């Protein structure tokens, strides 16, 4: 068949129908699969026959989700996981051995920082957290045991941008595996593999679900590179449930439409916040005032649905603002059809020290908005009235 465009792939990619010819894919709620005979069982276990054995290893609903997501990211293969953090940990655990080292951007999701600082060191796996905007500082961190470079862009929560092409050049030169958490953008907005990344991770809980219903994650890239990660995940069990995979697969059908609408609303809100007298700064990847605007327009099709800003008056005014929002939800999630506001310093990034937060550009007054799909005028009215509270 002729190569399909992104939106068509999102809608049309599916596994073949079963003997019933159903139009909508069924959910394969089964833990095991029946073998035809002893020989069939043997051949599946040795890998001579590529077929399902047990749902911790593989499941048709999970395979369909991965088939679709991999086609959208331009990846050869993928692994479904129970959450985004299972994808993050599975990647580290699959690729790194005791004594290994890696480089990571210091602007990362709070739980990822906890894994790097508090869990991986138990196996003597260490990381250098670098300033992603200062490439000159990266080379001196490389040791003989450095294996990979890990980053998020846009960063969580303050939407700094990292030039993927630049990191890829650095990784190729130094033989490092480049791993990108793409959950803030989604594959509609940005496809890191095109810019030279080796592995892309997702918290599918975010834009891929899009309606805050299910946890899930994914690891995508070349089959050969994924092999040790697949082995780790199959043996240790962070498997994606077939039900969640089905929900996520269905959600991917509307990803392009949703991301365009999220991005349109978010850009408009960012523009209005930028000229509001009670706002110190706004960061949005497609806003010309973003310090890395040229990177944003180069590697991101649209600016995405996330906006960060700093309210004048620090923590106190920030909390007041959150308490006076009427329509926005205060929820520890993002990428939902409903708009969400978060105060990172006291929630998602509270486990970091103030110094670590400032190194990642998270000030006490920073607010993170996940702009939803409501009418943009209703979103603005809510923000405006909450900003004005004394």
- Our CB check for ligand PLP shows the closer of 156 and 241 to be 156
CB of 292 to ligand PLP, least distance (A): 18
Residue with tokens 């050869």: 76
Q: Report the residue closest to ligand PLP, judged by CB.
A: 84
CA 304, CA 327: separation in Å to the nearest integer? 21
CB of 178 to ligand PLP, least distance (A): 16
The residues with which 329 forms a beta bridge, in sequence order, are: 340
- Our CB check for ligand PLP shows the closer of 109 and 321 to be 109
CB of 220 to ligand PLP, least distance (A): 14
- Our CB check for ligand PLP shows the closer of 179 and 386 to be 179
Q: Are 250 and 244 in contact (CB under 8 A)?
A: no
CB of 226 to ligand PLP, least distance (A): 18
Angle in degrees, 0-180, between the axes of helices 242-252 and 60-73, rounded to the nearest 10? 30
CB of 42 to ligand PLP, least distance (A): 37
Q: Are 130 and 360 in contact (CB under 8 A)?
A: no
CA 126, CA 99: separation in Å to the nearest integer? 7
Q: Which residues of the shown chain bind ligand PLP in the complex (CB under 6 A)?
A: 83-85, 109, 111, 152, 156, 181, 183-184, 203, 205, 215, 217
- Our CB check for ligand PLP shows the closer of 279 and 300 to be 300
Q: Are 126 and 153 in contact (CB under 8 A)?
A: no
φ, ψ of residue 367 to 5 degrees: the values are: -120, 135
CB of 183 to ligand PLP, least distance (A): 5
- Our CB check for ligand PLP shows the closer of 263 and 348 to be 348
Q: Are 112 and 181 in contact (CB under 8 A)?
A: yes
- Our CB check for ligand PLP shows the closer of 120 and 215 to be 215
């Amino acid at each position: 068949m002729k190569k399909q465009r992104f939106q068509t792939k999102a809608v049309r990619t599916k596994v073949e129908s079963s003997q019933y010819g159903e139009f909508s894919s069924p959910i394969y709620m089964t833990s095991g699969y029946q073998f035809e005979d002893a020989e069939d069982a043997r051949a599946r276990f040795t890998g001579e026959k590529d077929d399902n054995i047990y749902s911790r290893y593989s499941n048709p609903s999970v395979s369909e989700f991965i088939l679709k997501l991999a086609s959208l990211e331009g990846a050869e293969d993928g692994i479904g996981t129970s959450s985004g953090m299972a994808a993050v940990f599975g990647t580290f655990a699959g690729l790194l051995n005791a004594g290994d080292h890696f480089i990571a951007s210091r602007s990362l999701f709070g739980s990822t920082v906890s894994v790097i600082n508090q869990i991986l060191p138990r196996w003597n796996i260490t990381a250098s957290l670098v300033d992603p905007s200062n490439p000159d500082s990266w080379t001196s961190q490389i040791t003989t045991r450095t294996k990979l470079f890990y980053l998020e862009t846009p960063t969580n929560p303050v939407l700094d941008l990292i030039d993927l092409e630049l990191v890829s050049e650095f990784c190729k030169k130094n033989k490092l595996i480049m791993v990108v958490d793409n959950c803030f953008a989604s594959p509609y907005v940005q496809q890191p593999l095109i810019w030279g990344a080796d592995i892309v991770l997702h918290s599918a809980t975010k834009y891929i679900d899009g309606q805050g219903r299910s946890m899930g994650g994914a690891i995508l890239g070349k089959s050969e590179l994924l092999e040790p990660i697949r082995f780790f995940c199959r043996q240790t069990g962070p498997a994606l449930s077939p039900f969640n995979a089905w929900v996520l697969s269905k959600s991917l059908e509307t990803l392009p439409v949703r991301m365009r609408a999220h991005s349109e609303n978010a850009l408009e809100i960012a523009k209005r916040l930028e000229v509001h007298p009670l706002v110190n700064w706004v960061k949005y990847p497609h806003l010309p005032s973003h310090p890395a605007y040229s990177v944003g327009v180069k590697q991101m099709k649209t600016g995405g649905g996330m906006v960060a800003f700093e309210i004048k008056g620090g923590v106190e005014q920030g909390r007041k603002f959150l308490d006076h929002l009427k329509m926005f939800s205060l929820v520890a999630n993002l990428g939902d059809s409903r708009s969400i506001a978060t105060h990172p310093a006291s929630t998602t990034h509270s486990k970091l020290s103030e110094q670590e937060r400032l190194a990642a550009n998270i000030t006490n007054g920073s607010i993170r908005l996940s702009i939803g799909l409501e009418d943009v005028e209703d979103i603005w009215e809510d923000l405006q009235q909450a900003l004005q509270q004394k």
